[in-house]
Structures are given as C-alpha cells and as structure tokens.
Amino acid sequence: NAGVTQTPKFQVLKTGQSMTLQCAQDMNHEYMSWYRQDPGMGLRLIHYSVGAGITDQGEVPNGYNVSRSTTEDFPLRLLSAAPSQTSVYFCASSYSGQAGAYEQYFGPGTRLTVT
Amino acid sequence: AQSVTQLGSHVSVSEGALVLLRCNYSSSVPPYLFWYVQYPNQGLQLLLKYTSAATLVKGINGFEAEFKKSETSFHLTKPSAHMSDAAEYFCAVSGDSYDKVIFGPGTSLSVIP
C-alpha cells in the first residue's frame, strides 16, 4: 500500500494564482481531511470529508475549496493565492474503527510558498 | 469544546536521559488521545493512542504514555533518549466526530550527544 500520497512536494505561486494540491489514499478510508501547519500553531483543519460526495469546512476554510468525487481522492484548490497561505499542507485519512477514535494517516506534505 | 496544551515548545535532553513531553487536554466527552511524531520534512505518524482500555499505553520506539483522568493529562515518556528521537511531537484529542480532532501546538525535542 502506498498509504496517503500528495503532489506536488513543493510549489511556489505568485499572489493571485490558483492551483490544486492533490491527495490520494489507497486504504479505503471513509474520512479525509486537509490541514495546514504553521510554526507554533500545530495543525489546523481546513476542510474535511466523511465520505464520497460529502465535504464540510474546518477551522480555517477561507480561500480554499475541496471536492470528493471518489473515496480515494480529495484535492484541495487554492482559488487566488495570498502570502498568508504560505504553509505546509498535509492531507490525512482515517476510519471509524472505534467510534470517536479517529487515528489519522498522514501524507508527506506539500510545502507552498506564495510570493 | 476540546483543547490540547503542550507545555514547552522546545525540550532538550541528553542522550540516554529520560524524555518527558507534557500534554494536557480538555474534553466534554470521554476522550481518545494520541501522540504523533514528525521527523524533519515528513508527515506525522502515530506513536501511540489511548482508547479507554489500559491507562498506560505503549507505543513504537520505546515510548509510552499514561492517561490520568484526574489530572486531564497524557504525558509521553521514554526512559532513555536516542539521537534518532529528535523530532516534533504532537498530542491530539478526538471526541465524538471527525471534525473534532484537535492537535496541540507541538513540542520540538532535541537530543544532545
């Protein structure tokens, strides 16, 4: 199993550009999420999905869109990049093996710089 | 509402010394608690988890953590630090829904030879 994969690993954007960060998992997990990691702030939830066709906003959703057309894929779209979106982005997947115990499986991350 | 605090954004220990990383949580429902480790330029990986079975939880790489409900704590320990333990460590709590998984700010562990 490849687990959770993310592309690209690195990306530099100019302010106002748009792009899509790709995320895929091959574990048939029902839950997927996107986090951003900034120094001293831990991980903050951007958007999440509890199944194909179902998405919802997390703590910091502004400026980002998601969709989940299949169980495997959960792309994150930046609509109009801003310097405040410079961060490391992690995709994660999970399953509800024990209700409430959402153990997360993380991808390797995408380091995004917006100039 | 749930929250997680980690005392000490940076901890340094000598090689062979005890590692103690602190985590306190608040939760309105019986919590599930996790410790994750992040090595440089990598994603997070699970070290151990508490899911209401044994209060002393053993994880990978010799780490363990004890759930203390009275202290609302879930501190991570390792008896003898190794150079390879240098990493960022995150405590997390989850409750009754997927969007309620909360991560602490992280503690960076340095191991001095």
DSSP B2-58: -EEE-S-SEEEEETTSPEEE--EEE-SS--EEEEEEE-TTS-EEEEEEE-SS-SEEE
Give the residue-averaged pLDDT of A9-34.
96
pLDDT for A100: 64
Mean pLDDT along residues B67-76? 94
Residue B7: the pLDDT is 92
- The reported pLDDT for the residue numbered A57 is 95
**B52/A97: higher pLDDT:** B52
Q: What is the pLDDT of residue B33?
A: 92
* Chain B residues within an 8 Å CB radius of A99: 96
Q: Report helix, strand or coil for B99.
A: helix
pLDDT reported for residue B98: 72
The Cα-based distances of A38 to A42, A89, A111, B7, B66 in angstroms read: 7, 9, 11, 18, 28
pLDDT digits (tens, 9 = 90+) for A22-71: 999 999 999 999 999 998 788 999 999 999 999 999 999 999 999 999 99
- For chain B, the straight-line distance linking the first and the last C-alpha, in angstroms and rounded, comes to 41
| Tokens linked to B82 | 């190794």
Query: How many residues are recorded in chain B?
Result: 113
Q: In percent, how much of chain B has pLDDT > 90?
A: 73
For residue B34, give the nearest of A48, A98, A103 by CB distance.
A103
- Please give the average per-residue pLDDT across B49-67, as a whole number: 91
Q: How far apart are CA A55 and CA B2, in angstroms?
A: 22
Which residues of chain A make contact with B51, given a CB cutoff of 8 A? 98, 101
Give ∠ CA B18-B20-B21 in degrees, rounded to 5: 150
Inter-chain residue contact A101 with B42, CB threshold 8 Å: no
Nearest CB to A100 within list B32, B90, B92: B32
Matching residue, tokens 């901890």: B11
From chain B, pick out residues whose CB is under 8 angstroms from the CB of A104.
Answer: 34, 36, 44, 46, 92, 101
Task: Using a pLDDT cut of 70, give the percent of chain B over it.
Answer: 100
Supply A115's token pair: 């100039």
